[in-house]
Amino acid sequence: MPHSDACETYLREHDAQQLEGLREFLRIPSISSLPEHNDDVRRAAEWVATRLRALGARGVELLPTVGNPIVWGEWPAPAGAPTAILYGHYDVQPPDPLDLWETPPFEPTIRGERLYARGAADDKGNMFAPLAAIEALIATIGRLPIGIKCLFEGEEEIGSPSLPGFVRDNRERLRADFAICADGGMWGPDQPSLTVASKGIAACQIDLRTANTDLHSGQHGMAAPNAVEALARLVTTMHDDAGRITIDGFYEPIRDLTADERAQIAAIPFDEGEYRRGLELPALWGEPGYTALERRWARPSLDLNGLWGGFNGEGLKTVTPCEAHAKITCRLVPNQEPGAVLDLIEAHIARHCPPGATATLRRFGGAARPFAVSADHPALDAAEHVLRDLYGKDPLSIRAGGTLPVAETLQSELGADMIFFSWGMPGDNVHAPNESYLLPAFAAARRAYCAFLPELARVYGEVKR
């Protein structure tokens, strides 16, 4: 019986057992952002380690970091086969607001074709799928066709602060031909896709001050400068009316999209009008000369995430505030460096700070460079081939407007490009109440991994010949 048929038979016969394993994993409230759940995060790490041992992985252990541990385990590569890092994360977002959940977030519940729980799609379901496929491959052919090094972290939902240092300190242990990311999603249930790029990120806060104290607005208004008004004027200098970023030098290092890249994005079945109506917006906004999807995926952004100062309580307080603050994140595209972008913003606020005010820039950690996989990467070819066979159509090449720091970290530190191979879907409500994982997607993911690992061995064997 061909390997794929044997794997599919195994998955079908063990479907209920594997689904219950996922539900067990989902019951652990491994919320990395809340200190009161530190023990639960550790418990989730230990659960994953136990799972890897049961599958026969070698050297399974919880590797310490400055934060939550990395779950490690590996299957050495057969002679001549490549080795891949398998990445995922076992931590989850807080479930709040709890009153919007139809069923408790850590009591996994099936309704229709979906499994509802916090972390169901992001990332426990997607991370569990390749482990289920590994179980099937070992049960049916006795081994894995390629080497696998599991790198499962517990801090992705707080920006992976420990991961870059861990990767730098463990280069030899982590050495691999490429990486597979079990975090992310497909364009739709019937439309496969492969994510080929993601944006970087740089974050900061502007702190602006005027007088040495808040003032009585009747006695001092229009004489002493108002910090909230000054900050409002300052931040409006960062975009022009059309939506282009006006920070000097911001666009300078960027390589513009090629005609082929624009055609690739234009091939995506995306309707700007439908997108606008879905958000109940009267109009879209942003850098002229680019479509909304190009701006979301392949052009940089500068977003005001929060603006505050003065009195914000109920009722009235007649005050001229002396301080105001703004939080900013920039999503970056190739050739932009996070530190250099923050330098440009700092120079901009020094030039444009209104008279009577002083403004300083506070830089946040978690910066990450943008990522893009080589278009001719053999592992990308293997993924395309598997998805084409599974769905009967070519996968779309898509990009992520968000940031996954691990992709750029593994690429820059290890030279290991990341292949995104996961089955999150529109409607999963990731990070929101009633998060869910589509059960047909869970089935497709397990089948795909059973085909993907042997295909990687075949493709790399041809490359070496």
CATH 3.30.70.360 boundaries in the chain = 200-254+300-363
Q: Give the per-residue pLDDT at 465.
A: 55
Taking residues 428-440, what's their average pLDDT? 97
| 275, pLDDT greater than 80 | yes
User: Over the stretch 301-311, which tens digit does the pLDDT of each residue have?
Assistant: 999 999 999 99
CA 421 – CA 424 distance, rounded (Å): 10
| 2, pLDDT greater than 90 | no
Q: Return the structure tokens found at 321.
A: 């505030």
Tracing tokens 């398998």 back to the chain, one arrives at: 86
CATH 3.40.630.10 boundaries in the chain = 3-198+370-464
CB atoms near residue 44 (< 10 Å): 29
For 3-198+370-464, the fitting CATH number among 3.30.460.20, 3.40.50.620, 3.40.50.720, 3.40.630.10 is 3.40.630.10
User: Over the stretch 373-430, which tens digit does the pLDDT of each residue have?
Assistant: 998 999 999 999 999 999 999 999 999 998 888 999 999 999 999 999 999 999 999 9
- Give pTM, 2 decimals: 0.88
| 335, pLDDT greater than 50 | yes
- So what's the architecture of 200-254+300-363 in CATH? 2-Layer Sandwich (3.30)
Q: Give the per-residue pLDDT at 1.
A: 37
